[in-house]
Structure 1
Amino acid sequence: MLQHPKYIVRRLQPADAPSFYAAVRESVDELTYWMPWCSKDYSLSDAEAWMQSTSDMWAAGAEFPLGIFDATTGEVLGGTGVNHINRAYRIGNIGYWVSSKRTGQGIARFAAHESAVLGFGELGLTRLEIVVLTHNRASQRVAETVGAKLECEARNRLYFQGSPHSAFVYSLVPEDVR
């Protein structure tokens, strides 16, 4: 992965669990709203299990989770990656989240770009989607800033907090990523 002067996007490792846990706990109020994997009782053992899961997913070629790190301190700032891969059609999905205290600094934009580089480069995909709830303006701005094209508002596209919701579907193709 490429390195930004301030940020690094790379595979997560077992030693990252405490910092990942700290980033989640610092952001737990926001993350429990947006991310189904997060709960108010998120624990260090959950972070450790996630580190193992990410390794297993990479080994299986199923999903490709990445951590976002401060280039100076090594602190986990969030997560990104490529998932929901359909090899037959060479498509996947990009997701991202950033620690609450670090939002608004261009970190998600950098991370989404790095995930796209991974998807189009190493993974050989030809289309990446960013699917965003219609009321998630921050994530919509990230998608637009990385050059993703808004294709549609898809009805019942995401299951969110116990019910189906419409979502905007953005797409990236290799030519969009510079």
Structure 2
Amino acid sequence: MDDRPLHADGLLLRPFEEADAAAFAAAVRESAVGMQRWMPWSSADYSADQALQWFQACRGGWAAGSACEYGIFEQDTAAFVGGAGLNKIQHDPRFCNLGYWVRQSCRGQSVAPRVVRALAAQAFGPLGLQRVEIVVAVGNLASERVAEKAGAFREGVARNRLVIDGRPADAHMFSLVP
């Protein structure tokens, strides 16, 4: 799969590099209080070593053709903003999942909707997919708003669609199609 950077209206999306670990870990720590309910891997003591382990897993996903995970950076300053990606890529029947998170200090700037649109263009263009799913835990209102702002169609609630912190959770299913 093509791992060239993507551009999204003032943002740069590119694969993670080892040099990003400290900034990634700092962003997770900054955002843990707000994210931990939905992303239990985030914690107030998240370390650069944990970030490096994640980056290694991301490289494995790229190599296997099953995921394209990106760091989100401000295009002008190269400041780390968050992470997003296409994962669980199924080449037959040509669909994937799309996920995102934005560090606390960068929320409210329409970062995530811009990223969703850029990733959807990647999915429908170079990857040749026909469906992108955004799965949002019931109660995660901020992520619901992102999906809606990005033009995703709300299909309904899927029962026990996610597992969060070891427990099943219902989720809103959103979709994007070309």
- Mapped to 2, the partners of 1:73 and 1:125 lie a distance apart of 32
- Mapped to 1, the partners of 2:160 and 2:22 lie a distance apart of 36
Aligned to 1:96, what secondary structure does the other structure show? strand
Aligned to 1:33, what secondary structure does the other structure show? coil
CA-atom RMSD, angstroms?
1.5
TM-score, normalised with respect to structure 2: 0.91
Alignment of 1:118-129 (within 5 A): 118-129=122-133
Using the TM superposition, give the Cα deviation of residue 5 of structure 1 relative to its aligned residue in structure 2, in angstroms.
Answer: 4.8
**CA deviation profile, 1:15-35 (whole Å, cap 9, x unmatched):** 211211121111122222211
Contact 1:153–1:167 under 8 Å retained in 2: yes
Q: 1:156 aligns with which of 141, 160, 176?
A: 160
- Mapped to 1, the partners of 2:177 and 2:106 lie a distance apart of 28
Change (3 A) 1:62 1:30: same
**CA deviation profile, 1:86-121 (whole Å, cap 9, x unmatched):** 222101010000001111100011111111112112
Identity %: 45
Opposite residue 83 of structure 1, the aligned amino acid is N
Aligned to 2:82, what secondary structure does the other structure show? strand
- Mapped to 1, the partners of 2:29 and 2:45 lie a distance apart of 9
Q: 1:22 aligns with which of 26, 30, 40?
A: 26
Alignment of 1:124-143 (within 5 A): 124-143=128-147
TM-score, normalised with respect to structure 1: 0.91
Confirm whether residue 7 of structure 1 aligns to residue 26 of structure 2: no
Change (3 A) 1:19 1:165: same
- Mapped to 2, the partners of 1:66 and 1:24 lie a distance apart of 15
Using the TM superposition, give the Cα deviation of residue 2 of structure 1 relative to its aligned residue in structure 2, in angstroms.
Answer: 4.2
1:61 matched to which residue of 2? 65
Aligned to 1:27, what secondary structure does the other structure show? helix
Opposite residue 154 of structure 1, the aligned amino acid is A
Using the TM superposition, give the Cα deviation of residue 64 of structure 1 relative to its aligned residue in structure 2, in angstroms.
Answer: 0.9
